């Protein structure tokens, strides 16, 4: 399926019928679009599966359709309330994935014009409650690929600015490398109506509010995140994949990141990061193949500290001790802080 989870199809989706599949969440992780990194984060897959399922169930209780069918234990499917123990396997409803065709270095999305219903919308929708100084948004504003108005702003945003209303951004989902675009282009490639685009934005805001409220209970701030959405077989929006986790969102705890940003910060000072940035400038499509440097594994103690961040967040948010013996969240974040402080 991808760099961090695997897909087992139990019943394939067709043009007129949903399928059934199971996601197996692994302990692999990915940063900077590299794909699988050289080491594993213990219990990460299970923590992500449990936390993602928690938010999908929350959305269902709010009347929002999702593809979630339940968590799997001993080949049986359970709600979280009935699940005997933590699991890294999630059963979901399956829709079609219609991949755009790459022709002469340009992606052709014409298949979406008559796709009907029951397919993955080829977009990632990003909500931004704040903009860190290094956000890609500033680069795009500077080079003119977007305007403040494209983001719903009247003027240029400032670094570290927080917004009363989140900025809604959008990128491709099924291209080799995610590509940001304007909402106008997003509507064109996905062949969505004005009403459907409006509904997609409203759904994203609802998800953002839910995640923000839940993490505020344990002292975390929801800075930004992303969702993926499909059309069900009545062409109604349905939340798919996973959301509300440390891989899909960027949270902060005081001045500390609580997300994949922890690993990103560590690697940004490496020769590998410099090499991939250079490779992306040289060849946007095939940068990984030409990158001359491979990433080094994380130090073991730092890797285990990151594992405890995933475990502690899942325990705290769900209100259930899925992972026994995990240090308190304050202690976990103090350990992370020690590693990220300038040397």
pLDDT of residue 133: 83
Domain that holds residue 220: 5-340
Report DSSP letters for 189-224, one per residue: HHT--HHHHHHHHHHHHHHHHHHHHHHHTTT-EEEE
User: pTM for the whole thing?
Assistant: 0.90
Q: What is the CATH number of the domain that holds 213?
A: 3.30.470.20
User: What average pLDDT does the chain have?
Assistant: 93
pLDDT digits over 242-275, tens only?
Answer: 999 998 999 999 888 888 889 988 999 899 999 9
pLDDT of residue 2: 63
pLDDT of residue 136: 87
State how beta strands 249-253 and 221-231 pair: antiparallel
In whole angstroms, give the CA distance from residue 259 to residue 253. 10
pLDDT of residue 35: 86
- Pull the structure tokens for residue 152: 């719903």
Q: Are the C-beta atoms of 32 and 279 separated by less than 8 Å?
A: no
**Among residues of the chain, what percentage have pLDDT more than 70?**
99
User: Could you say which residues of the chain have pLDDT below 50?
Assistant: 343
Q: Are the C-beta atoms of 64 and 236 separated by less than 8 Å?
A: no
Q: Find, among 110, 50, 124, the residue nearest to 316 by Cα.
A: 50
pLDDT of residue 343: 47
pLDDT of residue 43: 97
In whole angstroms, give the CA distance from residue 64 to residue 68. 11
For the chain, how many structural domains are there in total? Answer: 1
Indicate the SS3 state at residue 175: coil
Q: What is the distance in angstroms between the CA of the first residue and the CA of the last residue of the chain?
A: 38
Q: In whole angstroms, how far apart are CA 105 and each of 35, 253, 277? A: 22, 42, 20
Q: Which H or E element spans position 24?
A: strand 19-25
Ramachandran angles phi, psi of 158, nearest 5°:
-115, 150
């Amino acid at each position: 399926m991808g760099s961090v989870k695997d897909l087992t199809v139990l019943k394939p989706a067709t043009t007129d019928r949903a399928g059934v599949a199971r996601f197996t969440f692994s302990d692999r992780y990915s940063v900077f679009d590299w794909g699988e990194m050289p080491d594993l984060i213990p219990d990460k897959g299970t923590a992500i599966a449990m936390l993602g399922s928690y938010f999908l169930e929350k959305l269902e209780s709010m009347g929002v359709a999702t593809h979630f069918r339940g968590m799997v234990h001993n080949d049986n499917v359970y709600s979280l309330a009935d699940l005997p123990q933590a699991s890294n396997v999630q059963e979901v409803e399956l829709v079609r994935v219609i991949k755009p065709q790459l022709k002469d270095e340009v992606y052709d999305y014409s298949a979406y014009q008559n796709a009907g219903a029951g397919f993955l919308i080829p977009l990632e929708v990003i909500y931004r409650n704040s903009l860190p100084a290094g956000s890609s948004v500033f680069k795009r504003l500077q080079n003119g690929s977007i305007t403040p108005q494209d983001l719903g702003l009247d003027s240029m945003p400032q670094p570290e600015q927080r917004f009363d209303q989140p900025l809604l951004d959008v990128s491709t989902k099924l291209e080799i490398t995610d590509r940001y675009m304007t909402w106008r282009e997003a509507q064109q490639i996905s062949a969505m109506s004005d009403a459907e685009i409006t509904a997609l934005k409203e759904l994203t805001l609802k998800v953002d509010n839910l995640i923000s409220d839940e993490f505020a209970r344990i002292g975390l701030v929801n800075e930004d995140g992303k969702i993926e959405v499909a059309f069900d077989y009545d062409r109604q929006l349905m939340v798919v994949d996973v959301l509300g986790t440390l891989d899909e969102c960027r949270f902060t705890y005081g001045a500390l990141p609580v997300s994949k940003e922890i690993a990103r910060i560590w690697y940004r000072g490496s020769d590998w990061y410099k090499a991939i940035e250079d490779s992306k400038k040289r060849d946007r499509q095939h940068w990984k193949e030409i990158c001359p440097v491979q990433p080094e594994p994380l130090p073991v103690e730092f890797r285990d500290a990151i594992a405890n961040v995933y475990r502690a967040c899942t325990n705290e948010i769900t209100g259930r001790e899925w992972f026994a013996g995990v240090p308190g969240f304050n202690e976990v974040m103090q350990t992370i802080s020690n590693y990220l402080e300038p040397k």
